[in-house]
Every structure is written in C-alpha cells, then in structure tokens.
Amino acid sequence: MGVAEKAGKTGKASVTEKAKKAYGYMKNAKTAKAYFDLAKAALDEDTRSGALFKGGLKITMELAKRVLGTSLTSHPYYALHKTHFDVLEKALNASSAHEDAAAAIARAVGAADATAAVHNMLEGFVHRRNVLLLQWQWNLLELLLIQAQSRGDATGARLKLKDVGMPLESLSSHLDAELFTWRASWSELVQDATELSLMVDAEARAAEEAMARYAQKMAKLEKSGTLGSVAAGALRKDLMYQQLDRMRPGADKGKPLKALLDPAAYARSQSDAVDLLTLRLAHACDIALGDEVTRAPEYVMRRLKGALMMR
C-alpha cells in the first residue's frame, strides 16, 4: 500500500492507561532491562534464603507491587491460578511437622503443573511482539524516512504524503503520537512479561522447596523400619500409576508427564523460558525507547531482531 499503509487507514493508534504507566516505569528505571533486573533482585534478596519465602506468596505479591508499580493480581496468569496460589500459600506457611511425604510430592507436582500454562502466555507475548515489529516496518519506518527526507527535500516529502492527504506540517505531531503509542506498547509488554516471570518463579521455588521436603521425608520413612519402608514403597507405586495415567492417549495436556517425573526441574525450565523471553523483550524495548529510532531508523529493525534472538 505504501506511505506507511496510507498513514490514516486505521486511524490514530490507541494506547491504554496501563501502557502509559508502563512507559513511565521503564523511563524511571532508565532501561527496561534494569526494570526487569530490579524486580528479580528485590525478590531474590527477600525470598531466596531459608525455607522459600517465610511469609509465603504474599511477599511476592507485595514486593512486586512496590517494585513494579502494579499489582500481580490483575495479571491473566494470576487469575488463572488464584485458587492454586491461595492453597500454595497456606501449605508453605504450615508447620512441616504436619506434612507427610505424599502431601509434599503432591504440592511439588501441583506447582509444576501450574506452570504448564506458561506456553500459551508466551505465545501471546510473541504475537504482541510481532505486531509491534510489523507496526515499525509498515508504518513508522517509512514515515520517519520521509521526515528525514523533508529536511533536505521538502518537495519530495510533500509528494509522498500527498497520496494519504497528510500535510508535511502535520507529520511531526503524527509521528510523535505514533511513536509514543509504539514505545508504550513495548513497555507494557515488558511489564506483563516481568509480572509473569515473578509468578512462575514463585511456583518454581515452591516446587523446589516441596521436592526438598519430599526427599527428606522419604529418607526418614526408609530409615524408620519395615512400616516406613512399606509406606515409601506404596507412595512410589502410586506415583508410577500417576505416570501411566499421564502417558495414556487423551491425557490432560495441562498435566504434562515431565511435571510429575521431576517437578522442580520442569517448573524451573518453565521459569527459565519466561526469563529468557522477558530479557529479549526488555532489550528490544530499550532499542525502541532509544534515540536511534529517530536518528538512524533504517538500522532499527536489524537491531530489534538481534535483541530478540539473544541468549
């Protein structure tokens, strides 16, 4: 279609209030990468030690609101797992004396299963990322190049804009609005990914803690004599039946076999996948928020794609 897809074909892009706020958070943190690092570091400092987070998942929620400037409870992932989070918090705060090995492994598997929804969430982030890349390629880039041309060839720039009925005098304000919306949308995407990262990390830690308790309790059962050995054997047999159930055709895809075989490793791999995509999005966001967008727009797409492939 040309000239930024006729510039006014879809009207002025809208921007949500959340996106506007997210843009402000990124700017306050200096970079999107710093925003993500700040959120993770704050939680690490308060919750990595000892028996998971002593105050349960509430600490995660409270810290996130303080650091991110938003509540995790509004995130779709939280809404999907609210009941699970509530149960998990109570279990984490319960006395270990009242928890047996079966409860520990059930909690570990439950936490791991909960992270299975991550795949769909990440697909949604990738779709939003692709839309932003297309908006750059099909809309912003051409208009920015016309703006650059206008500084030395105003007549040629006017001719290109004439086809869409946009006077050259309106280009600057139009671009400012479009760039703000585009940058705010990148910021909102990074904020959403960071929020997901914190929640999936919380569930991965829950799985790791529960598996550690399970191992301890199984060891005690094995050493407690014949009855303990029988109980440990029965639990392993039950887990084997659960594995077979997850292997059957038509099994619930929301309960993957890997989450049962090694809950801690599976949940952590899900957390790592979210962190990797979030870091890539943060690096791309920093490019989108940088001066190069207007100073050398012809190189921006290459840099964005490079950031989104980083390891």
pLDDT in tens, 159-203: 988 877 889 899 999 999 999 999 999 999 999 998 888 888 877
Please determine, for residue 27, whether its predicted confidence score (pLDDT) is greater than 50: yes
Determine the pLDDT at residue 204. Answer: 82
Please determine, for residue 148, whether its predicted confidence score (pLDDT) is greater than 70: yes
Local confidence band at 37 (pLDDT 50, 70, 90 cut-offs): confident
Q: 75-84, 117-126, 196-205, 218-227: lowest mean pLDDT where?
A: 75-84
CB burial class (10 A; 0-12, 13-18, 19+) of residue 294? Answer: middle
CA–CA dist 205, 47 (Å, integer): 10
CA–CA dist 177, 12 (Å, integer): 8
Q: CB–CB of 255/199 below 8 Å?
A: no
CA–CA dist 89, 268 (Å, integer): 19
| Domains in the chain: boundaries | 32-142+194-307
Sign of CA dihedral 290, 293, 298, 301: positive
CA–CA dist 208, 201 (Å, integer): 10
Q: Which tokens hold the place of 130?
A: 């692709």
Higher pLDDT, 30 or 186: 186
Is this structure's pTM higher than 0.85?
no
Q: What are the angstrom distances between the C-alpha of 255 and each of 102, 110, 118, 310?
A: 18, 9, 12, 30
pLDDT tens, position by position, 223-236: 777 776 776 677 77
Local confidence band at 309 (pLDDT 50, 70, 90 cut-offs): confident
